[in-house]
Each structure stands twice: as C-alpha cells, then as structure tokens.
Amino acid sequence: MLLIIIPAVCRERGSPFGDPDVCSEYGMGYASLSMAIGAIYLWSYVYNIIRISSSRNSEEVEINDLSITKSSTESSMTPSGSSSKEVTEPLLSSNQLALPQTRFEEKPQVSFLDKIKQYFEMLLQKMNLKRLFAPSTIGAIAGFVVGLLPQIRRLLIGDTAPVHVIQDTALLLGDGAIPAVTLILGGNLLRGLEGSGIQKSVILGIIIVRYVALPLLGIVVVKGAIRFGLVHQNPLYEFVLLLQFALPPAMNIGTMSQLFGAGESECSVIMLWCYVLASLTLTLWSTLFLWLVA
C-alpha cells in the first residue's frame, strides 16, 4: 500500500515534499525499509503466535473427540442388570508394591556455554526455518546486505554500476508484483462475502481500534519521538511513519491463517471490512497527516 500511496503523493501538485523525483526516490526508500522490517517481524514473531494458537485449537478438538469416543465406548460396554458383580482384587501383590531402592548419583555440572548451546539447539528444533525464511524475509535480508555494504552497493546500484542489470530486473519484478498482489488480495477478500459466525461487535471493535485509536496513538508516538530527538525531523519521513498507523491489516496475516487452516473465514471477513473502509479512512488520515507535516 505504501508503494502506491507515496509516489502518488509525491507527484501531486502543491506537495510539501519538494521535487517529485527526489520525493519519490527517498519516499520509496522509506517505504521499502518499513516493509522489510514489517516482513521480518511478521514471519518471525506473528507467524509463531498463529502457529502456537492453531496447534492449541487442534489439540483441544482432538481431546474433545477422544473424550466423546471414550464415553460412548464405556457406556456401550457397561453391563446392565443385577447379575453383574464387582470384583475388587489388587493388581499387584504386597511384595510388588514396595518401591525399589534407588541410588542418587551426582549430576555433572553443565557450563554456561553448554547451556546456551543446548538452548539454541532446542530453539532451532522448535522453529520452522523454512517458514521463517519466507521469500519476503530473504528479500529483506538481501536488501539490508546490499544497502549496508558499500562495495556491493557500488556493484549493483546506479546507472554506472557494472551489474546494474540486476537492479533493473528487480525493479521490473517489483513493478509487476504490485498489481499481482492486489489481484491476490481481491481473491482473498471474496471469501469474506460468504460470511461467518463472527459477531458484528467484534468487527466494529477492530475497525475502531485500527482506524481511530491506532492513528491517534501514532500521532502521539511520532510527535513525541521528534520532540525528544529520537527521530530526525523530516516531513517525508514523518509522513511515512504516520501513514503506517493508518494502513489496513497486512495481507500476510491471511496467508498465515491459510497455511495453518485456522480462522480463515474470520480473517477474510475482518480483512474485507477493513479494506472496504480503508479508502475513506486513508483519505481522511492522509489529509490530516499532510497538514501536520507541512
């Protein structure tokens, strides 16, 4: 969404950001940085939250199914009538009930480095690295490497770079990815038209928090950061920071719910209403943000 809004605002007449070409160049850089950090955060933190919650839900369903099956089996096997007799005989003899003698041995002390090594090994076993390093995450990491290392940046970036064809190819793929992602988003939102059992009050609460409370909180956070010197005062950068708080939910959330098969219909309904109202709320908040940074 930022890749669509920022160039359009820069090309607008009377824009407070100066030259359109310079504005587009820096604005796309700010937007790309924001999307890269967001992709890493989503696929490393949010992904694991959805994975854990979906596994818990599936375990609860399995436990309920097993309890129902067990109760039905016991009821069918229970003898009826007065002819049934209870037999109370211990399964183990008195000699076998005695606890075996155990001998406690001192455990060898584990060093701090070994504990850290064991912790990381256990963490790697629990984490799904294949999902963690999604294509968007790999692209973000590669972008950080190219941007932070001057030697690689001089090879790839710029018209005079020896292998600038890689940059041109990436730009062509990126330009085609924007409409493709928009079409995929539209296909996912169609599922929201089918409806689900989600309550209207829940949808209303999400919309109020997303499009009213969160942008107001963003104004306080960004203005406070500028006031205390944590963020350099730059109108374009400030506008990008403020705009992030008014955007609709990320499409990756719907992708994750489809991967685990948990909450697909609910997510589609919420995304549908959020994106339907985004055209109105983004217009209003963008106007206010432009007035604040001008």
159-204 pLDDT, tens per residue? 788 888 888 888 888 778 777 777 777 776 676 666 566 788 888 9
For residue 6, give both structure tokens.
């920022």
C-beta separation of 237 from 25 below 8 A: no
- pLDDT tens, residue by residue, 219-273: 999 999 998 888 888 888 999 999 999 988 877 777 777 777 777 777 778 888 8
Confidence band, pLDDT 50/70/90 cuts, at residue 71: low
Report yes or no: 245 and 218 within 8 Å, Cβ to Cβ. Answer: yes
Give whole-number Cα distances, 162 to 104, 109, 133, 155, in Å.
69, 57, 29, 6
- Asked if residue 31 lies in contact with residue 6, where contact means CB atoms within 8 angstroms, the answer is yes
Helical ranges in 191-249 per DSSP H: 200-208, 214-227, 235-244
Provide the terminal-to-terminal Cα distance of the chain, rounded to the nearest Å.
22
Could you tell me which residues come within 8 angstroms of residue 196 by beta carbon, excluding any fewer than 6 positions away? 265, 266, 268, 269
Residues 79-91 have a mean pLDDT of 49
| Block residue for tokens 């933190």 | 45
pLDDT at residue 288, rounded to an integer = 92
User: Which residues, at least 6 apart from 154, have a Cβ–Cβ distance to it below 8 Å?
Assistant: 161
Q: Answer whether residue 154 shows pLDDT above 60.
A: yes
Structure token digits, residue 259: 């991967």
The confidence score (pLDDT) of residue 195 equals 59
Q: Percentage of residues in the chain with pLDDT exceeding 90?
A: 12
Q: What is the model's pLDDT at position 224? A: 92
